[in-house]
Amino acid sequence: MFPLIVPGAAALAVVGLTPLVQKIGLKWGYVDQPNARKIHRQPIVRIGGVAIFAGTFLAWMLVGQSVSTASENHLFLGILLGGLGFFATGLMDDLFDLSPFARLGMQAILSAGVWSLGIRLDTLPLPGLTDTLPAWLSLLVTFLWLAGMANAINWLDGMDGLAAGTATVAAMVLAAMSWAAHPAIALVALGLGGSTLGFLKHNAAPARIFMGDGGSYFLGFSLAAIAAVGLPSDGSFTTALLPFAVLLVPILDMTLVIVARLSDRKSPFFPDQRHIHHRLMRTNFPKATVVWCIYSLTLLSGLSALVLMHSPFGWWLLSADLALFSLTIRSLWPQPVEPTLGLPTAGQ
């Protein structure tokens, strides 16, 4: 029964807290104003991540009661402090519009801090790197992993319910994959998934509140941290691949968009309409279909990782997910369409 209490408590807390956060946001003017680039037609509060963060931390406090060993305590502390730091970084950006380099600098410092507590990637699915990495390389890879996923979820947050639903799917898959070896980490994932599921009540189309950078950075870091420390690792190529397989969709979306922007001699942070949801929207799919398509791709990549833990059949599922994703990148390399009325745009 206890595993059900954690996501249940998180979901109920977020459902209850979100209207309060919405009122505060409206009162203080923390809203995303409509314009020709966005699909909403009225100001919408952009600090919904406060509710996600609060609900998740409530659930994680319940999880803390089951943490017993010293190593688990360090990992749990790393997730707590890192989650707080990434959330605070995003919230400051929501309130004060930080520069991309200021955000990356803060994420680098936070990544180094949680790395010292054991939140780290020590292997890579590359020849010669499936054994334990040297400390300096592990630190660099961990920063790229944590900060990269924080920004990947942030960039995916371009349609009502998209980032929250994608995070829900990924968190639940991570919970299932972590349960046997790291039950405490699995409960952390369940708490995160419960919070995002509760947030969908207010964020699913038509959204009444946005999670903002505070919410997306927190979700991205938390998913990356859970994947780094909760999944099995035996020095093989397959286990080194598992974290990347679970989060394949946001990773591919971010990577291909950055490559395309650089190929156009633009900054990786240059906002455009190259993301997966933009490309699907240009095929005239209904907005709900676009969102559910990306949910499905995320679920398929997660299931492929879950199956890979036990059977080579997971490679077939992963290949199918890659093939389906490739169908969405037809408009990646041509010049992006200029933002027009009615076409959603991500913050990046």
pTM tops 0.85 = yes
Q: With residue 32 as reference, give the H or E element that holds it.
A: strand 31-32
At residue 201, the 3 state secondary structure works out as helix
CA 260 to chain CA centroid, nearest Å = 21
Q: What is the pLDDT of residue 332?
A: 46
Q: What is the pLDDT of residue 337?
A: 46
Neighbour tally for 334: CB within 10 Å: 9
Neighbour tally for 227: CB within 10 Å: 27
Specify the amino acid at residue 251: I
Q: What is the pLDDT of residue 343?
A: 39
Q: How far apart are CA 219 and CA 215, in angstroms?
A: 6
Question: Cis omega before residue 134 (within 30°)?
Answer: no
Segments making up each domain of the chain, as ranges: 2-231
What does pLDDT average to in each consecutive run of 10 residues of the chain (348 residues)?
Answer: 86 98 95 63 89 97 86 93 98 94 97 97 90 94 98 94 98 96 95 98 95 98 97 91 97 93 88 83 87 96 96 95 83 46 40
Q: What is the pLDDT of residue 330?
A: 64
Q: What is the pLDDT of residue 283?
A: 80
